Amino acid sequence: MTVRKIAILGSGVIGASWAIVYARSGCDVAIYERSEAFRDSAMQRLESSLASSASLLRDGETVQDVLARITLHDTLEAAVAGADFVHECIVENLDSKRQIFAALNDAAEPEAILASTTSSFPVSHFASDLACRDRCIIVHPATPPHLLPVTEICPAPFTSAEVSERTTAFMRECGQIPVRIKKEVEGFVLNRMQAALLVEMLTLLREDLIDARDIDAIISEGFGLRWAFLGPFEGVDLNAPGGIRQYLERYGFLARDRGREYGLGDVLPPETIDTLDDYARSRIPLEALPEKVAWRDESILALRALKAERGSVDRA
């Protein structure tokens, strides 16, 4: 089924950003917003965000072209009428999500996909008792999605395979980069990865091993320059002539020691090294690594030049 109309529930930061993603891709978007104040300000907020991201518009389109596809509604029923895809973007409260999905069970079109942008609650926490549960799925973005394309797709055990496949395909059509979470877990993967780094940074700060400014510098002037072009595993693959296998065989003790320190046991058994080596070699053969290293280095130099050109708005 082709997705032509989207209903978005909530016009806050995430809801408005998703509205831009969908309208920018050519879909009609109906936003349900119960707050009169938010409804009154929504179009101005959308226009401002569209104007500042105009480089991402399709060729020949204007901000006004995209805005013309978006409508605002003060009732759920009006917004979801005729919608092929409904995206819930309300407050991160479990009871509120249970209530609105129960309402969608009755109000949404019988074939509509019912997605939630929740950052923490798996679908089974709020939709397991609903007749529509096989159409419910998590579609969780990096924030804001109209600028950051990676999007987590996390079905429940009862979500139909067709809904998962259609949702993934639709995200690609909208210009997003969908990543499939294989099973339900609170916080999904993006936030768990982010939390792991944040907890470690907070621990180092609390133990007075480093200042906050220097922690930020390690990311913005170190890892971040690499990670703008390479995933962490890709980056490791370039850190030894023999690729990721050689690197982990030489330096994997660093990860193992931290894992045991955190009570996680052996985080790097041989089968994990095999999995990562298979992944890395499926992307690029060992003999081509020097070419990729050169590309990485040129890319980092270009990014450093851009950072120098952009400067900062910090006061100190």
Give residue for tokens 């007075």. 208
Largest Cα–Cα distance in the chain? 61
Domain, as residue range, for 155: 5-180
Taking only the tens place, the pLDDT of each residue in 219-244 is 999 999 999 999 999 999 999 999 99
- Among 188, 195, 168, smallest CA distance to 119 is for 188
The answer on pLDDT for 174 being more than 90 is yes
- Assigned domain for 191 exists: no
Inter-residue contact 101 to 114 (CB < 8 Å): yes
Q: Is residue 205 part of a domain?
A: no
Shared-domain flag, residues 176 and 225 = no
Statement to judge: residues 158 and 234 lie in one domain: no
Judge if 160 and 218 occupy the same domain: no
Average predicted confidence (pLDDT) for the chain: 97
Q: Kindly state whether residues 150 and 22 are assigned to the same domain.
A: yes
Do 124 and 51 share a structural domain? yes
Bridging pattern class, strands 136-141 and 150-155: antiparallel
- Integer CA distances (angstroms), 141 to 45, 188, 191, 253, 272, in order: 19, 11, 10, 33, 27
**Is 142 found in the same domain as 87?**
yes
What pLDDT does 65 receive? 98
Residue that finishes a domain, picked among 159, 180, 201: 180
Residues 173 and 236 in one domain: no
The answer as to whether 316 is a domain residue is no
Is the per-residue pLDDT at 316 higher than 80?
A: no
pLDDT at 125 over 80: yes
Q: Is residue 197 part of a domain?
A: no
The residue type at 197: L
Residue 306 domain flag? yes
Do 169 and 291 sit in the same domain of this protein? no
C-alpha span between 123 and 115 (Å, rounded): 9
Peptide bond before 145: cis, by omega within 30 degrees of 0?
A: no
The token duo for 157 is 């055990």
- Residue 152 reports pLDDT greater than 90: yes
Q: pTM score, two decimals? A: 0.94
Q: Is residue 34 in a domain? A: yes
**What percent of the chain is predicted at pLDDT more than 90?**
99
Count the domains in the chain: 2
pLDDT (tens digit per residue) in 60-99: 999 999 999 999 999 999 999 999 999 999 999 999 999 9
Residue 85 backbone phi and psi in degrees, to 5:
-145, 125
Tell me the three state secondary structure of residue 259. helix
67 and 139 part of one domain: yes
Count CB neighbours of 281 within 10 A: 14
Cα 313 → chain centroid: 26
Residues 150 and 46 in one domain: yes
Report the b/e string of 58-83 with b at 16+ CB within 10 A.
eeeeebeebbebbebbeebeebbeeb
Domain-located, residue 200 = no
CATH classification of the domain holding 104: 3.40.50.720
pLDDT in tens, 3-49: 999 999 999 999 999 999 999 999 999 999 999 999 999 999 999 99
Indicate whether 315 pLDDT > 90. no
Virtual torsion, Cα 83, 84, 88, 94, nearest 10 deg: 110
Tens-digit pLDDT profile for residues 269-301: 999 999 999 999 999 999 999 999 999 999 999
The dihedral built from the CA positions of residue 216, 220, 222 and 228, taken in this order, carries a sign that is positive
Domain membership of residue 274 (yes or no) is yes
Specify whether 165 is located in the same domain as 274.
Answer: no
5-9 and 177-180 beta bridge pairing: unpaired
The answer on 165 and 28 residing in a single domain is yes
pLDDT of residue 131: 98
